[in-house]
Amino acid sequence: MRVCPDRLDLESYQSSIATLLDALGFQQDEIAVTLAGPIVAWSRFAGHDRPTVYLSSGIHGDEPAGPLAIESFWRSVNPLQFNWLVCPLLNPTGFASQTRDNSDGHDLNRDYLLQRSAEVRGHIAWLERQAVPDLFLSLHEDWETEGFYFYEISLGDDLPQRAHRLLDAVKVVCPIEQSPVIDDHAVREPGWIHHEPKADFPESWPEAIFLAKRGCPLSFTFETPSCAASLETRIAAHQAAILAALRIPLGR
């Protein structure tokens, strides 16, 4: 296993993202308390006729590019045409120790069915109080790969042009993963895993599967290469992917 040295200063990040999103008019909800501090979810309502986008990151504590990309995104872009749900950092104890799992040894992104962790129980309770999003974007990293890739879960039409739009945007700033098999999944095209709306292991639901079961029609899980690219490149790749996804027409 490669060791990837980038770290996130948890206390500084939590303060910075809170100041930023508060200034942008987001409402905050403390959804769980951990030994490393609270988990805060954010929402902003634009109108009943606007699509809802949910942006999530920081569920694995050794993946700093996602939370930092969310901060970078909101410092440079303010897309008022959407209703927003944002969870910038879902695993404070993991980031405090720079581990994938939380302090109890749970992989939070496999806990959305059994709900063994307080973090996921609080997160689900908050999600169930919100509108089901029209688009879910989840930011991750993968230390085993050399380039960017993503999972797509779609409950509607199969539209390859969506995937091509994402890949075209990202390849300008970050290489696309070329392996034909990624994490035991055969790719549909380089960098694109088209995933069924069911978990690989029946009891180990990721967040994206939970959202699909709730009826979210479209989700993308973005994965940047945490050891093969600089932190700045990974942040830029996430931001390019987010912006490309927001240009996809949304509708149920």
Report pLDDT for 251: 63
Q: How far is CA 113 from CA 145, 174, 179, 183, in A?
A: 28, 34, 30, 21
Strand partners, 184: none
Strand partners, 189: 192
Residue whose C-alpha is closest to residue 95's, from 38, 39, 12, 36: 36
Residue identified by tokens 């992989």 is: 107
Domain coordinates in residue numbering, the chain: 10-246
Report pLDDT for 4: 78
Strand partners, 221: 138, 151
Report pLDDT for 51: 96
Report pLDDT for 159: 94
| Cα-to-chain-centroid distance, residue 210 | 13
pLDDT averaged over 10-residue windows placed end to end, the chain, 252 residues: 83 97 97 97 95 98 98 94 97 96 97 98 98 98 97 95 97 98 96 96 97 98 96 98 95 56
Q: % helix / strand / coil in the chain, to the nearest 5?
A: 30, 25, 45
What's the whole-model pTM score? 0.97
Query: Which runs of E-coded beta strand occur in the chain?
Result: 27-34, 37-44, 52-57, 83-87, 135-142, 149-154, 181-182, 185-186, 192-194, 218-225
Superfamily of segment(s) 10-246:
Zn peptidases (3.40.630.10)
Report pLDDT for 3: 67
